[in-house]
Amino acid sequence: MRVSTSLDQRQGKRQAMHDLPTETADVVLIGGGVMSATLGSMLAVGDPSLRIVVLERLDGLGAESSGSWNNAGTGHSGFCELNYMPDPTDGTRPAEIAAQYRESLAWWSYLGREGLIDPADFIHRAPHMNVVFGVDGVDYLRTRHATLSAEPLFAGMEFTDDPATVGRWAPLMMDGRDPAEPIAATRQLAGTDVDFGALTRDLLRIVADTGGQVRTGHEVRDLTRGPDGGWTVGGTTAAGASFRIGAQRVFVGAGGHALHLLQKARIPEVRGYAVLPVGAAFFRTDAAEAVGRHGAKVYGQAEIGAPPMSVPHLDRRFVGGREHLMFGPYATFSTKLLKKGSWADFFRTLRPHNLHVIAAAMAANLDLVRYLVTQLASPRRRKFAALQRFWPNARFADWELVAGGQRAQLVKPHPRRIGELQQGTELVVGAGGTIAGLLGASPGASTAVSIMADLVRRTYPAEAAARVDAAFADDAGETLFPSEPCA
């Protein structure tokens, strides 16, 4: 009897959803993070006549992966991310990321000049550095620097293997360190720290100010394509009411929930795709002695088996008008795919066509499994020892361990290996360009402008794309910093 009643209730809910009146929009953006915000700002500027609706399930915007403390705030530009360049003689990937980030700087600069955003709300100068230890690390970094120095995008990058110079660039790094230990560093003064949560809210304000609707407390649960090729987006509000919106185009920028929603849309482009939950924690301090003596983002080398977003780094952060230092990340485990998600999130993405893909990817990455187990088993004091590798004299009492964001690491089918872990992000476009979604993790936020501009060029009218492209004939963001020195 209970089974029958439950089935009747589900059927009744589906019928009630079907009977709802349907609103209409030109574009529905699912998720109130930096991806939807970036696309929304481009569409609002490129074609102000578009009826845009943004749907966010939480009661605030930019509260998940885009949140100020749910990521490291690094403007990823290839300057310091050693994991993007395992071969120090091949700078292809860092150059790609640097070019993408220059587009982000150009778009933000354009919006700032037009008075649509205030860059001081979200971006600050913070030199990007690498520090490595041991003879092998020094040799690697020297070769990497020589490779990248030949690229115009990395002009001005400095290298040193002199401990005294490292101490001038990052004083905390040499406090209490054995001066005989081999050490080397690179520095690029043009690095940035970005509050992606504040940026998200600024970009979505553009959407609202041009007539769009930005709705929080709206959780999307269904995506259905109609006979006319358009989509019906259905779900419930925080108050328990149901909604239906018809739109010609849909973008799924829902972070860890993106794959599940694209699966609901039944597009073949995600067949075999899967995601694995990856969480993180950071140490954080606002102690004056620490903050006052460290003005850079300093990246090191990842442990063997560590996932791409687990490169240790000691960062200067600007959040809410205050300065902090943070160090990490440390891996955490949860089956949630969003920080404020459900423990059932991961299991909802499982399908008969992706189980073998996940199994093959995990079997090929046993170092990652061992790394995660070791991280989870480490007590807080042992975690702090990794911070002291960067700053030997750091005091345990000054630092708090805080939870970072939750990520969904993309797993894809592979013709020979069955399944593989995918670094970075992937834009998936289906149904003749009427639906798109973003899957994967870092360096997504930093490259959001490049990714969304590509989507606009591929699937939106040429007039809108032309207006967006015109903004990239810019000074690569130099006007973002009218009052800040470059050193």
Q: How far apart are CA 32 and CA 38, in angstroms?
A: 10
| 315 contacts 73 by C-beta, under 8 angstroms | yes
User: pLDDT tens digits, residue range 300-352?
Assistant: 998 655 655 578 999 999 998 899 999 999 989 899 999 999 999 999 999 99
How much of the chain exceeds pLDDT 70, in percent?
A: 92
Residue given tokens 């485990």 in the structure block: 333
All domains in the chain, ordered by first residue = 19-479 (3.50.50.60)
User: pLDDT tens digits, residue range 345-383?
Assistant: 999 999 999 999 999 999 988 887 788 888 888 999 999
DSSP string covering 419-471: EEE--SEEEEEEGGGTEEEEEE-TTTTTTHHHHHHHHHHHHS-HHHHHHHHHT
pTM for the predicted model, two decimal places = 0.92
- SS3 letters across 23-44: EEEEEEEECCCHHHHHHHHHHH
**What token pair was written down for 313?**
């780094």
Residue 7 has pLDDT above 50, yes or no: no
Residue 4 has pLDDT above 70, yes or no: no
pLDDT attached to residue 36:
98
- Quote the mean pLDDT of the chain: 90
